[in-house]
Amino acid sequence: MTDESTATKEQQAHASGDEPDTKQELHEGDGAGARTDKSQRPANESDQPQRAEVSNYEIVTHYFDQAAERLGIPDDIATVVKTSYREVQVQIPARLEDGKVHVFSGYRVQHNGARGPYKGGVRFHPEVDLDEVRALAALMTWKTAIAGIPFGGAKGGVNVPADDCREEDLEKIARAFMDKVEKLLGPQRDIPAPDVGTNAQTMAWMMDEYGKLHGHTPACVTGKPIALEGSFGREAATGRGLVYLYEESAEELNLKPEDTRVVVQGFGNVGSWAARILQDMGCTIVAASDASGGIRAERGLDAQKLAEHLRGRGKVQDFEGDGIDRISADELLETECELFIPAALGGMIHKENADRLRCKLMIEGANSPTTPTADQILADNGVHVIPDVMANAGGVIVSYFEWVQNLQHFRWEEDDVNERLREIMQRAYREVRDKAEEKDLPLRPAAYELGIERVVEAATTRGYIHMGD
Ligand code: NAD
């Protein structure tokens, strides 16, 4: 678990002779998209064969560059808006189960704060590095702007293999991370939340650690347990948000829940909640996966029972039930369905596998799950894609509600939370769809344009940037 890797992703790709997906296309322009991680201690690398070599940073930068060009934003202004405001890397030494001190790298990137305090999750995953966190922070800037909630964009992470760690080790690491970055944080500065490998318990430890220095401050993190001023509805919010957008687009695509078969790639927080809520509406969950592999059941699998099975640290492939087959990552993609939900990590739908998808609608639960080349393949195949930057905003929207409740120390009912979430998700969807129709664009570039316009307007109005004559 020590951080001994010295090769960046790009060096590894060269060494293996792999040609990164859409590399040529992504590196056209000013070259900023080609930046590799320059941190002194790049994170551990793992060999996930299903993931594309194109990085999340390249994906986000690609969409930004194209949108900025269409909007006619001058290059100098575009550079201010594209790059991070602040990037911090910290050392996290922790003595673990084996009695040795392991050194992890922690990151907090504050991308843009023009529209409000920085907001974004903290990821615990061995592949976390500065490049990845930078990309996810930028995505948060556009996401909060598209949703129209008063936050900027940030992200954090530690390159710890959370799945293999004991609870007490994760607590040490969460507290140490908070100790190292607390000066950058606070309810009016920057508010973390859970992401991959972290959860409500992680937020509780982080809040407690922050409180030792600043006094009881529940609004310093969101996604907390209900017992610690967490919000009703927060845990399910990202998955529920995907379902609200399914409802919106199902009408357009003439889909009914009873005729909708669903495949979920990554049955974690986001994927499992989306599946459970869709199942309650009458949809059939026909396949699901996690990092261990996948399962398929033509007549449907019980998403509720699968989620309960996983709560005890079970694996998707160990789940037993009538008519369940164990399948590979490829077979999951090839499963016939109406709705495909990627809810694992970035870059999982790429040029080598996008053609295999057999769905009408894809709603992106994960951040940057689809590379630009794959996006084009899906468009050519007539798949309606609702992009991450609007689709998975449910989590940060209910985090916003949690922050508002914490500032007032006043709790809302769960129905109020869900109803307000629905209003914001559906408003954002309609605003993006209107822009897409007006400019004859797919939803993703239209969403980026909307987000960028709002951020540029806020930055200009504050006087942080001046557009010139
Ligand atoms: P999680 O850790 O709860 O779940 C991730 C799941 O993906 C796990 O089941 C894991 O086993 C699985 N996975 C990992 N590698 C895989 C692989 N190669 N194939 C199949 N499955 C694999 O994390 P989460 O909070 O559900 O986040 C999932 C995605 O959604 C991430 O991209 C995250 O950034 C994004 N997201 C999360 C939130 C949130 O509120 N939690 C909000 C917005 C976006």
Query: For position 373, which CATH number holds?
Result: 3.40.50.720
Tell whether 253 and 340 lie within a shared domain. Answer: yes
Helix, strand, coil content of the chain in percent (nearest 5): 50, 15, 35
43 and 192 in a single domain? The answer is yes
Check if the beta carbon of residue 259 is closer than 8 Å to that of residue 265: no
Examine the residue annotation and report whether 183 is marked as an active-site residue of this protein.
no
What separation in Å is there between the alpha carbon of 139 and the centre of ligand 1? Answer: 16
The separation between the first and the last C-alpha atoms of the chain, rounded to the nearest angstrom, is 54
Distance 437 CA to ligand 1 centre (A): 31
User: Token pair for residue 235?
Assistant: 């845990």
Give the Cβ contact number of residue 292 at 10 Å. Answer: 12
pLDDT of 173 higher than 50: yes
Of 189, 217, 245, the residue that ends a domain is: 217
Which of 56-60, 147-151, 451-455 is the least confident region? 56-60
Ligand 1 pocket residue status of 266, Cβ below 6 Å: yes
Decide if 63 is inside a domain.
yes
**Ligand 1 within 6 A of 230 CB?**
no
DSSP 420-467: HHHHHHHHHHHHHHHHHHHHT--HHHHHHHHHHHHHHHHHHHHTSS--
Q: What is the pLDDT confidence band of residue 62, given thresholds at 50, 70 and 90?
A: very high
For ligand 1, atom 15, which residue shows the shortest CA distance?
291
User: Are residues 353 and 299 located together in one domain of the fold?
Assistant: yes
Domain boundary among 358, 386, 414: 386
DSSP sequence for 322-348: TT-EEE-HHHHHTS--SEEEE-S-TT-
Atom of ligand 1 nearest to the CA of 193: 40
183-198 pLDDT, tens digit per residue, is 999 999 999 999 999 9
28, part of any domain? yes
Q: Is the pLDDT of residue 381 over 50?
A: yes
Percentage of residues in the chain having pLDDT higher than 70: 88
Domain identity same for 198 and 50? yes
Q: Are residues 162 and 304 in the same domain?
A: no
Same domain as 207, residue 246? no
Same domain, 245 and 182: no
Is a pLDDT exceeding 50 seen at residue 22?
A: no
Q: Is the CB of 61 under 6 A from ligand 1?
A: no
The reply to whether 426 falls in a domain is no
* Per-residue confidence (pLDDT) for residue 18, from 0 to 100: 37
Q: Is 396 contained in some domain? A: no
Residue 21, pLDDT above cutoff 90: no
Query: Cβ(107) to ligand 1 under 6 A?
Result: no
Report how far ligand 1's centroid is from the alpha carbon of 242 (Å). 14
Q: Please give the pLDDT value at position 469.
A: 57
| Spatial distance between the Cα atoms of 147 and 140, rounded to a whole number of angstroms | 10
Is the domain of 208 the same as that of 332? no
**Rounded distance, CA 292 to CA 269, Å?**
16
- Give the strand pairing for 153-158 and 101-112: antiparallel
Separation of CA 66 from chain center:
21
**Is any ligand 1 atom within 6 A of the Cβ of residue 366?**
yes
The stretch 453-464 carries a mean pLDDT of 96
pLDDT tens, position by position, 77-117: 999 999 999 999 999 999 988 899 999 999 999 999 999 99
- Could you report the per-residue pLDDT of 306-358, keeping only the tens digit for each? 999 998 778 999 999 889 999 999 999 999 999 999 999 999 999 999 999 99
Are 21 and 161 contained in the same domain? yes
Domain membership flag for residue 454 = no
Cα four-point dihedral sign 414, 416, 419, 424: negative
Residues 279, 333 within the same domain:
yes
The C-alpha atoms of residue 376 and residue 351 are separated, in whole angstroms, by 9
**Is 67 a domain residue?**
yes
Which candidate, 135, 144, 125, 122, places its Cα nearest to that of 82?
135
Structural domain contains residue 31:
yes
Residue after which a domain boundary falls, among 217, 250, 271: 217
CA of 292 to the centre of ligand 1 (A): 13
For residue 54, what pLDDT is reported?
85
Closest ligand 1 atom to the C-alpha of 198?
Answer: 2
Q: What is the domain range of residue 297?
A: 237-386
Ligand 1 pocket: which of 51, 238, 295 to mutate (most atoms within 8 A of CB): 238
Identity of the amino acid at 389? V
Please check whether residue 226 lies inside any domain of the structure: no
The enclosing domain of 58 has a CATH number of 3.40.50.10860
Tokens of 64: 């930004």
The CA 123 to ligand 1 mean position distance, Å, reads 10
241 and 213 within one domain: no
- Report the distance separating Cα 154 and Cα 192, nearest Å: 8
Sheet architecture: strand order including 261-265: 325-327, 293-296, 284-290, 261-265, 339-342, 361-363, 384-386
- In this structure, the answer to whether residues 203 and 250 fall within a common structural domain is no
For the chain, the domain total comes to 2
* Closest Cα to atom 19 of ligand 1: 291
